[in-house]
Amino acid sequence: MTPDLECADLVKRFGDTTAVDNVSFSVPPGSFFSILGPSGCGKTTIMRMIAGFLDPTSGDIRIKGGSVLDTPPNKRPVNMVFQHLALFPMMTIADNIGYGLRRQKMPKDQIARKVDEALDRIGLPGIGGRKVDELSGGQKQRVAIARCMVLEPDVLLLDEPLGALDLKLREHMKVELKALQAAFDTTFVYITHDQSEALVMSDQIAVMNAGRFEQVGTGQDLYYRPDTPFVAGFIGEANRWKGRIERAEGSALEMRTETGLAMRATATGTLSPGDTAEIFVRPESIRLAATAEALSAFDNQLQGTVTSILFNGAASRVLVQDSVGETLEVTLPQSGEFANLKRGDTLHIGWGAAQATCFAVAA
Ligand SMILES: Nc1ncnc2c1ncn2[C@@H]1O[C@H](COP(=O)(O)OP(=O)(O)OP(=O)(O)O)[C@@H](O)[C@H]1O
Ligand SMILES: [Mg+2]
């Protein structure tokens, strides 16, 4: 099937800055594609090139198989929802949603029907006569999306559309947006620096860093099988150790940390004895136990002292200081077994080599 959107070797330079550095990706019809990366990595620049507000330095952008480089922004089959949504405050909700259709000179009765349909789809039927300031932040956001959707774009570009909302509303809108995308069956390209937004909603996520895509994959791919140290550090939380590889048999490794601990891990890429490397272990991959015997099946075991308990409901963590003074973050199991844990308690912790991802790093 022809992808809805394809970017090929896309480059954008502003003077000496390369904001987008040879990015290629394709988005299948009806899917939710996110670009996730830190501030300044080039996300908005990609969107502005797709929308046509900015010309690429080189590369191509194809929509439904055809290049749109020579198509002006208002003729491209894409629409963009901005972080600070720009509804027209003087117009009613219905007039806001119908704005683009009026510009296309669609007959009035047809516009009214489309607007009603859109209001139904966003779960706000009958509010067409209201003013913009009579809606909550989340409702306004849905109207902003409906206003783009009625134009039936092939691709909808959303640049941090939830950025202006408070946390609770963002959590709610994550689920709503995903449902809206399915309801309208439109291809979404979604920009965010919030990994949870990307993980919850996306079919595919591109992790972007300094103008480049580090990895493109499903949330599970990025979380469980990161290709690069940047992705491993950016998605989810991780305990990290740098050191030198002492033994390597295929992907099975043993590394000596800078602080002198021997650790078993699994290589991503090729690693050989003597190489400088870094190990990543997620807090939820580490098991807690009262005794060392309970952890004898694990490849890596340490003893430590509880220095802090970070209570956060189901996401609670405990900080454990090991024998060489390093602090590890460990997820507190929900079994209740460690409900009475307190500062100063001695604990045993263990994790498997399969849960310890190791990358080569520059020495
Ligand atoms: N018109 C411009 N002229 C010069 N430099 C620019 C221009 N637009 C963007 N840049 C630079 O390009 C880089 C990427 O900017 P961009 O807006 O794409 O980042 P972003 O990933 O969207 O960041 P944020 O998450 O903060 O919105 C930045 O270093 C920025 O300063
Ligand atoms: Mg931006």
- Does 5-231 match 237-360 in CATH topology? no
- What percent of the chain clears pLDDT 70, i.e. is strictly above it? 99
Number of CB atoms found within 10 A of residue 211's CB: 21
Q: What is residue 218's predicted lDDT score, i.e. its pLDDT?
A: 97
- What percent of the chain clears pLDDT 90, i.e. is strictly above it? 73
Q: What is residue 83's predicted lDDT score, i.e. its pLDDT?
A: 63
Instruction: Identify which of 10, 35, 41, 80 to mutate to test ligand 1's pocket (most ligand atoms within 8 A of the CB).
Output: 41
Name the fold adopted by 5-231: Rossmann fold (3.40.50)
Beta bridge partners of 307: none
Q: Which atom of ligand 1 is nearest to the CA of 38?
A: 25
Q: What is the CATH number of domain 237-360?
A: 2.40.50.100
Does residue 42's CB lie within 6 angstroms of at least one atom of ligand 1? yes
Instruction: Identify which of 14, 20, 159 to mutate to test ligand 1's pocket (most ligand atoms within 8 A of the CB).
Output: 14
Give distance in angstroms: CA of 23 to centre of ligand 2.
Answer: 16
Q: pLDDT tens across 332-346, in order?
A: 998 888 888 999 999
Does residue 40's CB lie within 6 angstroms of at least one atom of ligand 1? yes
Q: Is residue 260 very low, low, confident or very high in pLDDT (cuts 50, 70, 90)?
A: very high
Which amino acid residue places its CA nearest to atom 11 of ligand 1? 19
Which amino acid residue places its CA nearest to atom 14 of ligand 1? 42
Give distance in angstroms: CA of 230 to centre of ligand 1.
Answer: 20
Q: What is residue 281's predicted lDDT score, i.e. its pLDDT?
A: 96
Q: Are strands 32-36 and 204-209 parallel, antiparallel or unpaired?
A: parallel
Q: Mean pLDDT across the stretch 234-253?
A: 95
Per-domain residue ranges for the chain? 5-231, 237-360
φ/ψ bin of 137: left (φ > 0), alpha (ψ from -120 to 50), beta (otherwise) = alpha
Q: What is residue 152's predicted lDDT score, i.e. its pLDDT?
A: 83
Q: What separation in angstroms does the CA of 42 have from each of 49, 62, 192?
A: 11, 19, 11
Work out the mean pLDDT of the chain and round it to a whole number: 92
